[in-house]
Structure 1
Amino acid sequence: MDPLTLVVTALATGASSGAGQAMTTAATDAYQALKQLVVRKFAGKHAAQVALTEHETDPEVWRAPLSKQLTETGAATDPAVVEAAQRLLTLLDQAGARAGKYSVDLSGAHGVQVGDHNTQINRFGPN
């Protein structure tokens, strides 16, 4: 699963699980932690904040706008955000997590970093 899909899926699953049934305390905490990381990335970006808020109540309609904002702000590839999304989905779907459903494969990706305190210079084009 690519990082963007993972984060959007985690946000949608966390929102719907919280509304439809009682989540465990660990899952609730994981969802709130993910949302807080995304909120920090969206700071000062009104359209992004609206997309996140509206996505929580209507994920299907707001999936594309939220995906756009996650990409533009870099939240979709932020290692902390991706890790928080994986943690939440693991708590909410343990069988899927064991089957590797939420593994992130960045092979073939361009301009993506994983890890902390990296420096990156991108030069795209023919080798």
Structure 2
Amino acid sequence: MTGVELILAALATGAAAGVSDSAGGAVRDAYAGLRDALRRRSSAEDDAETRELLEAREVEPGTWETRLRGRLVEAGADRDEDVLAAARLLLERADATGAQQGRYEVNADQAKGVQIGSHNTQTNTFS
């Protein structure tokens, strides 16, 4: 899994867990830690759009991911070890079994037209 895919998976997991009353405090704390790390990174880059996307509550899923993916790469968050460690911690706390089984360790660096994660929807248009 690339750095940006790891971050996006963790953010989606944390957002989903955050709306659930059954989410443990450790998951909520890890989600807050990841968002704080991303805010610090985007503050360093003076990136208001990234901070706005992190605060978004209701955004079309495809739009949110596409916009945030680009902003994370531009800000270098996908190479920031503090951000990546926070994303890994969140995924481990939210899905310890999946993390132990290597669910979040996918290498698709050169892949095209691939989605990683659960319950995705993809539309391909070839011209």
Category of TM-score, reference length = shorter chain: 0.7 to 0.9
Aligned residues: 107
Higher relative contact order (CA 8 A, sep 6+): 2
Going from structure 1 to structure 2, the CA distance change for 1:104 and 1:87 (only over 3 Å counts) comes to farther
Could you tell me how far apart the structure 2 residues matched to 1:35 and 1:71 are?
A: 16
Moved more, 9-18 or 42-51: 42-51
Identity of aligned residues (%): 32
**Are 2:2 and 2:109, in contact at CA under 8 Å, matched by a contact in 1?**
no
Per-residue Cα deviation, 1:8-30 (whole angstroms, up to 9, x for no partner)? 11011101111133311111111
Structure 1 residue 33: Cα displacement: 0.6
Change in Cα spacing, 1:104 to 1:39, as seen in structure 2 (3 Å) is farther
Give the RMSD, CA atoms, in angstroms. 2.1
TM-score by length of 2: 0.75
1:36 paired residue number: 36
Runs of 4+ more than 4 Å apart: 104-108
Show CA shifts across 1:57-94 (max 9, x none): 33613001111111000111111111110110011111
Unpaired stretches in structure 1, ≥5 consecutive residues: 109-127
- In the alignment, structure 2 segments of 5+ residues that lack a partner are 111-127
Contact 1:2 1:105 in 2 (8 A): yes
Offset at 1:95? 1.5
C-alpha separation between the residues in 2 aligned to 1:104 and 1:78? 18
1:17-32 to 2 correspondences below 5 Å: 17-32=17-32
Q: Deviations over 1:76-127 (max 9, x none)?
A: 111111111011001111111011112365989xxxxxxxxxxxxxxxxxxx
Matched-pair contact (CA < 8 Å) for 1:3–1:104: no
In the other structure, the counterpart of 1:73 is: 75
Aligned partners of 1:59, 1:17: CA distance in 2, in Å? 18
1:1-127 aligned at under 5 Å gives the runs 1-43=1-43, 44-54=46-56, 56-58=57-59, 60=61, 61-103=63-105
